[in-house]
Every structure is written in structure tokens, then in C-alpha cells.
Amino acid sequence: MKMIYVTCNVSVREPLLKMLELNDIKDYQVIEQVIAKSVKGDPRFDTAVWPGYNSAVLMQFSNDEQAIEIMKRIREFNEKAFNENELVTACSWTIDDYFYE
């Protein structure tokens, strides 16, 4: 079982969510406003000096192959980014338990 966490500029949140839906990912949570500083791109602290903010998406997978495929799709998504500010940061890890009883 896998957990994937992504963070992205709010400007690419909707295209990212559309990509998830097109890949039949139906189980995710969105944190709409996240202030962030990433390795690439400008800081987004939602201030006059550093305007804008990120959004975060968390996904849980009981199927590891589906998680691997989504990480591949996120990499492809990044290849089409207009600039470094539109890159999606993603990480995944193994989870011990996942249920929705």
C-alpha cells in the first residue's frame, strides 16, 4: 500500500486533479491553500513580497502498481510545465494500513 503527497502551485491544481480523474483516481484529499518554499520556483507565502500559494493533494493506494503509474503520470505532467513555478513536487511512501470501513 502506498501514500502519495503532492504539492503544486494553485495555478496547476485543476489540471492536476483532472489528470487524476482521467486516470481513475477517485480517492484523494485536497488541501487548497498551503504556503510553501520548494527547491525550484519562487516561494509562495501568500504575502505582498511572495504572492501566491500552493495546494496539496494526498492519495492512498491499496494497489502499488496504480501508485507507481500515477507517479509516472506526475513526472509526465512536469515535463509539460511552462516554467519551474508550475512543477509538481511529489513523494510516496509505504503505508501499513488503509481501510474505509
Q: Which fold has domain 2-94?
A: Alpha-Beta Plaits (3.30.70)
Q: In 3-state terms, what secondary structure has residue 94?
A: strand
pLDDT at position 48 = 95
Quote the pLDDT of residue 20: 96
Section 4-12 average pLDDT: 96
| 40: phi then psi, degrees, rounded to nearest 5 | -115, 155
pLDDT(31) > 80: yes
Q: For the segment 44-96, what is each residue's pLDDT rounded down to a tens digit?
A: 999 999 999 999 999 999 999 999 999 999 999 999 999 999 999 999 999 99
Q: What distance in Å separates the CA atoms of residue 66 and residue 59, rounded to the nearest whole number?
A: 11
pLDDT of 1: 93
Instruction: Over range 29-58, report the average pLDDT.
Output: 94
Domain residue ranges in the chain? 2-94
